[in-house]
Amino acid sequence: MQTYGIEKYGIVKPQKVERNRCPAWLTEEALKTEPSRLTDTGALLVETGAYTGRSPKDRFIVDEAGVSEQIGWGTENKKFPLDKFELIYKKVGEYLSGKNVYLFDGFAGADPKYRVSVRVINEYASENLFMNNMLIRPTEKELKDFKEDYTLIAVPGLKLDPKECGTNSEAAILLCLNRKLILVVGSKYAGEMKKSVFSLMNYLLPQKGVLGMHCSANMALDNSGDTALFFGLSGTGKTTLSADPKRGLIGDDEHGWSDDGIFNIEGGCYAKCIDLSKEHEPEIYGAIKFGALVENVVIDNETRKPDYTDRSLTENTRVSYPIDFIPNKVVPSVGKHPKTVIFLTADAFGVLPPVAKLTKEQAMFYFVSGYTSKVAGTERGITDPVSTFSTCFGAPFMPLPSSVYAKLLGEKIEKHGSSVYLINTGWTGGAYGVGKRMSLPATRAIVTAALDGTLANVEYEVEPFFGLAIPKTCPNVESNILNPKNVWKDKAEYDRLAKKLAHDFAENIKKYNLDANIVNAGPKA
C-alpha cells in the first residue's frame, strides 16, 4: 500500500491512505464511512457537533525561538508551550495509526510566485472534500512533483485532556511555525482548517512584502482590469456587495496584495447559508450542488430540501465549493492593483456617513480599527449600540503586529494611487431602534460611484466628529442623507452618540503601537 510518507508524522500501519481523490469519490466515501447525507441538489451534508463555528479560546501559536520574537502576542495570538505541542502531536500520530487516512496536497496562493504547498491529512473524507474545495487544486504534473512546505493534520475525533495537554478544552488549534505543522484537534468545524492556512499565509506573506487581507475582490469584465477590494466584518454586506453580475469574482474572503497585483489565496468559497435565497444570492444558491460540502443546514427528511431559515443547529450554517462553481469567476484568480478599496461597516449608532473618502493615514487608522457594531438590547440595561473592533478586519488571523499590516497597506495605496472609501451599511436617521437600516439600492449606488470614479470628482465637506470627508452629491442617492446629522430629528442625541463612538475609536487605537500620524488621523476622544 502506498503511504506517501505519512510515517514521518508518527502515523503507522494505516488501514488505507487515499490521496487527492476526486469530489465524487470523497462524497461516496463520506456517505459510507461517516454520518452524512445528500441534499436534493446532490451536495454532501454533515453536522459538526458541538463546534459549529471557530473556537478562538482554543487557538494557539507555539512559543518557539525565532518565531516568538515576530508574533504580536495578545488575546488573539496566545502562546503555547513547545513540550505540550510535542505531546499532542504524538497523540495525533497514534490516534490516526491503524485508521483510514485521507490526504490532499494543494496550494495556497493563486500567484505561483507566492504560492505555498500545503499537505492536508484528514480523519474524515468530508473534511478532505472541504480542503479539496478550498485550496488550489494541483495539475497532474504538479501533483507528481509535489513537495509540501507545511502540513495540516485534522483529527476531530481526538479529544484532549486539558490538564495533561495544557489546553483550554478538549479541542485545540495549534500553529507550530518552525516545525511547519498545523494541528486541528477535537473540532469538526471545517472553518478551523481554512482559517489556520490563512493565519499561516498572514505570517509568511509580509516577509515577502505582500499584504495578506481578509477581504473579497472583484474586477471589471472588460479589458480595463479595474480591480476592487471589499473589507468588512460579518453582517456588513461584504459578500452581497462584492457579488456583482457585472464584475468578475477574484475571490470572496482571502487575498494577497503583492508588487504585481492582487491574488486569491484560496481555490474556493466558504459562504454562509442562513436565510439564503435564490433571489438575493443566486450565485451562492446555485453553487450548492454535487461536489459542495454543506455544514449544519437542516433538511427535510423526505425531500432532502434544505431549510435555510432554520437556525436550530446554528446561526452559522455554511457551504464550501470550488470557485469554479461561480459563473463569473476570474481565471486565474489574480487581478491588477486595486483602483478602489472599500471598508464596510454596519454602524448601529447611525452616526457614520453612508460614504467617506479616506486619506492614506485615515485608511491605515480604519484598517487597523476594523470597526463595526452590535445592536443595543442584547443585554438588560444596554440601550446604546456596542462598538466592535477586529484588527485589520481579521484579528484572529493576523499573527504579526498590526503595524506591519498597516504599514504595508499605506505603502501600497500610496504607490498605486488606490482610492479608499469607508461605507456605512448600518443605520441612518437614528441609532438602531430609532433610525432605519441604510437602503441596499442606495448603498449599491454608492459602491457603483466609488468604482466608476464618480466619487473622486465631486465636492466634499468635512464633518466635525471623525474628520471624515463626505461627498455633497452622489448619483442615484438623495444628497440629504450623505451627511448623517441631516436626517436625525434629535440633533443632540446625534452629537452624544457621535462623541461616544469617537471616544470608543480613540480608546481602542491605544492598544496598538502605531505612528502618531496614523493615530491622529482618527477621531479624538
Catalytic residue numbers read 54, 195, 214, 234, 238-239, 253, 318
Distance CA 218, CA 220 (A): 7
Contact 388, 374 (CB under 8 A): yes
410, 409, 70, 408: which is closest to 208 by C-alpha?
A: 408
Distance CA 296, CA 310 (A): 10
Distance CA 409, CA 2 (A): 46
3-state secondary structure 24-87: HHHHHHHHHHCCCEECCCCCEEECCCCCCCCCHHHEEEECCCCCCCCCCCCCCCCEECHHHHHH
Cα dihedral sign, 412-414-415-420: positive
Contact 67, 177 (CB under 8 A): yes
User: Which run of H or of E encompasses 293?
Assistant: strand 293-295
Beta strands 318-322 and 268-272, pairing class:
antiparallel
Contact 102, 121 (CB under 8 A): yes
Whose cell is 478586519? That residue is 393
The count of C-alpha atoms lying within 13 angstroms of the C-alpha of 83, restricted to the half-sphere facing its C-beta, is 2
Distance CA 267, CA 278 (A): 23
In the chain, the N- to C-terminal Cα span, in Å, equals 66
All cell numbers assigned to 98? 491503524
